[in-house]
Amino acid sequence: MLSGEEMVRRDARRLPEAALEELRRRTVAAVESGLSRSEVARLFGVSRKTVGNWVTSYRDLGEDAFRPRTRGRRPGEQLALSPGQQAATLEAVTGRTPEEAGLPYRVWTRQAVAELVNREFRITLSPRTVSGYLARWDLLPGPGVFDVQQGTGPARSRAAEVVRLVWHRTPAGLDVLVAVCNRGSLYFDVRTAPFDAAAAADFLRRLADQLARPVDVLVRRWPARETGLVRTWPGAPDDRITVRFL
């Protein structure tokens, strides 16, 4: 005998594709508007677990979560972006700023990448989905890199944004600067050549422009061969930026 949840699942699968897509959209929109998953489940006559699955799928895949998918595909085949679209997006963010790509941002963010993808491919990605692609392309450092004890070192200005900065080289040979604020916002720059002091300072100036406030930079990881160059940053002619090494 089928449980109530299993009956709901079977009935949902029997809906025409267009009706099922609309049900998914309305269910996710209700949760995103602030209703609890239990309330939404009762409202639309589906199980709470089904609501949770649809919401998680949307946050992972964006608009592609609403479209009918063929069952039984291998992992990776249900990604919102095709391999060609992924390659084009990575190429678009490498070696140029968002402004050079025609976007209203001074440095790359998850939102900037999402807008680039939407403009080029008419595909909507959530910030969480963009994070997944950045990790897939090896643009993010490993877990724990940004874990830093707070409250150490000189007193910081309350007006400054505290940013943890990491240099990262991908297996493909791309050099990446990744900055993360205490609130979790992520900013990055990708180049085909190693960052020197001038390139790193340029990134920080653009970051300060975008944040519209001073930046207190904690350098979490930097290659030893560049350390001498990096230590010239505090003497740069931009008084919005302070740099400390951990």
Averaged in consecutive runs of 10 residues, what is the pLDDT profile of the chain (246 residues)? 38 68 83 82 85 80 65 51 94 96 95 95 89 90 56 56 88 92 88 85 92 88 62 62 81
DSSP class of 62 = G
Instruction: Assess whether 47 and 87 both reside in one domain.
Output: no
Instruction: Assess whether 60 and 88 both reside in one domain.
Output: no
Collapsed DSSP state (helix, strand, coil) of residue 82: coil
**Count of domains forming the chain:** 3
* Residue 65 identity: A
Is-contact 47 41, C-beta < 8 A?
yes
Instruction: Assess whether 49 and 118 both reside in one domain.
Output: no
Instruction: Assess whether 55 and 89 both reside in one domain.
Output: no
Is-contact 148 220, C-beta < 8 A?
yes
Question: Domain residues for 54?
Answer: 4-66
The Cα-based distances of 161 to 40, 149, 211, 239 in angstroms read 38, 16, 8, 14
Q: pTM for this one?
A: 0.64
Instruction: Assess whether 205 and 236 both reside in one domain.
Output: yes
Instruction: Assess whether 112 and 181 both reside in one domain.
Output: no
Q: Is residue 71 part of a domain?
A: no
Residue 51: closest CA among 60, 61, 67, 40: 40
Instruction: Assess whether 54 and 108 both reside in one domain.
Output: no
